[in-house]
Every structure is written in structure tokens, then in C-alpha cells.
Amino acid sequence: MTEQVSIVTGASRGIGRSIALELGRDGNCVVVNYVGREEEARATARLIEEQGGRAIVEQGDVSLASDAERLVESALAAFGHLDVVVNNAGITRDTLVLRMKDEDWDAVMNTNLKGAFHLIRAAARPMMKQRSGRIINIASVVAIMGNAGQANYVSAKAGLIGLTKSVAREFASRNITVNAIAPGFIETDMTAGLNAEWTGKMVEQIPLGRPGSPEDVAHAVSFLASPKAAYITGQVLHIDGGMVM
């Protein structure tokens, strides 16, 4: 079996780093994408190499179509093919709608939703030619539940689920599966900044009684990228300790 080549956006830290490490096991290849944190992205790549995988580090802002295209070109140039795309890059600009500026809305939409569109469009051509591919979009449980103070983020994540299902239908005949993962409350830098009282209340609503780890999400991504998930497409898999059922 040839090695699997993956692009993971936003892989310098958090869930993205865990996904990159998981996909880079067993001699597999990963394009570690970052926007601003080069050192951390290089650390992710080093960790992949230490466990026997191959990695290249690529700066790129997927909200720009040209950067997304460059990521795909880099993957093909370095490794010869492209098997898995993980749209993980995401930002937050949390505030109540009444206080939300257009720039807050646009920035979150452009990175979290349009960025995924750009990378899917760029990756589709080589995947169609190969007659195989896996696209995995990292959404969120808030896309289903809604969340006060995150209208922009929630809208983008809900859009990502719609994008997932549409693209799954468009590319199914080319053996490209497209799925979304909806993480619940996961302990990362993104959630570490949240109000402690609020996070306490969140955890109370989780049937399994604890926050998730980035590895919990990465394991699900690794499954969806594996041959075992060949017959799964257009689905949203919740990794949330039962928070949303």
C-alpha cells in the first residue's frame, strides 16, 4: 500500500496539530498548514517525523483562493498525490450580534467557510483524476445547537455542514467521500480563553461528564480517512461526549 498524503489546515496547534500527528503515523505524509505560527507548525512537522511520518510545512491563508491552490500544488509536488484534505482552520470573533461588526462576521466566514470551499475546489481535480479522496471538514456542535455570542462562528460551521453534504453528492461518483466532524467542548487554546463559570456549565451538560481532548477528534478523523470508512459519506459525526443527540 502506498502512503497516504494529507493536507491539514490550521495544523500548528490544537485540534489541527493532533489531526496532523494522527494522519502522519505509519510513514504517511502531511502538509502542515499554518497562517501565523511558523514555529509551532515546524514543531508539529518535527513530531510527525519523530514518529516515522513525512511532513512539509506550508504557510497559507485559505481564505485566499490562491493560497489554497498553492497548498494542493505543494502536496502534489512533494508527495506526488493527494488523498486527504482536512479543513480544520478556524478563527473566532465572539460577540453578541448587537455588537458584531461586519468585519467580525466576514473574517470568520472567510476563514471557516470560504476557506474550506477554496481548498475543496482546489483538491477536487487531482482527487477526481485519482478516482479517490477523503475530505473531512471540522464543524462544531454549535452548528446544531446555536450559541449566543457566536452568530458568525455558528453560521460558518452550519454552512460547513451544508457544504459537506453538497460536495459529498457532487463527488460521490468519483469515489471521493466528504464528511464533517462536530467536536463538542474540546480542551484547546481556543477554549482555554473562555469564562470559567461558562465552561463549568458546558461540562455539566456533557453526559460523559468531561471535556474532550484534541486526540478524541483526531481519532475520528483518522477513522474517516481510513479504508474502514469507505462507505461513509455526507455524514456529521459528533465527538462531544453525548452533548448533542
Partner 1 sequence: MSDTLSRVKSIIVDRLGVDEAKVVPTATFKDDLGADSLDVVELIMELEDEFDMEISDEDAERIKTVGDVVTYIDAHQ
One of 34, 117, 153, 171 touching partner 1 (CB under 8 A)? 171
> Least distance (Å) from partner 1 to the CB of residue 221?
26
User: Whole-angstrom Cα distance, residue 169 to residue 164?
Assistant: 9
Nearest to residue 227, comparing CAs of 34, 32, 83?
83
> Least distance (Å) from partner 1 to the CB of residue 16?
30
Nearest to residue 226, comparing CAs of 186, 172, 179, 182?
179
What amino acid positions are annotated as catalytic residues? Answer: 153
Q: What angle do CA 192, 196, 201 make, to 5 degrees?
A: 110
* 165 appears as a binding residue in the annotation: no
Nearer to partner 1, 125 or 228 (CB): 125
Cβ(54)–Cβ(29) under 8 Å?
yes
For residue 148 the three cell numbers come to 449566543
> Least distance (Å) from partner 1 to the CB of residue 69?
14
* Continuous segment of H or E residues that includes residue 199: helix 196-204
Residues in 86-145 that interact with partner 1 by CB under 8 A: 125, 128
Q: Which residues on adjacent β-strands are paired with residue 30?
A: 6, 55
User: Whole-angstrom Cα distance, residue 187 to residue 191?
Assistant: 6
One of 42, 54, 93, 174 touching partner 1 (CB under 8 A)? 174
Alpha helices, H only, 60-150: 65-79, 102-109, 115-130, 142-145
Size of interface with partner 1, in residues (CB under 8 A)? 6
Tell me the window of 28-36, 73-81, 167-175, 202-210 that interacts with partner 1 (CB under 8 A): 167-175
For residue 11 the three cell numbers come to 495544523
Nearer to partner 1, 30 or 178 (CB): 178
One of 1, 39, 99, 173 touching partner 1 (CB under 8 A)? 173
One of 26, 38, 49, 170 touching partner 1 (CB under 8 A)? 170
Cβ(242)–Cβ(187) under 8 Å?
no
Tell me the window of 60-68, 101-109, 169-177, 234-242 that interacts with partner 1 (CB under 8 A): 169-177
DSSP classification of residue 194: S
Tell me the window of 114-122, 154-162, 170-178, 237-245 that interacts with partner 1 (CB under 8 A): 170-178
Binding site as annotated, residues: 10-13, 88, 153-157, 186
Please report, as ranges, the residues that interact with partner 1 according to CB under 8 A. 125, 128, 170-171, 173-174
Binding site as annotated, residues for NADP(+): 10-13, 88, 153-157, 186
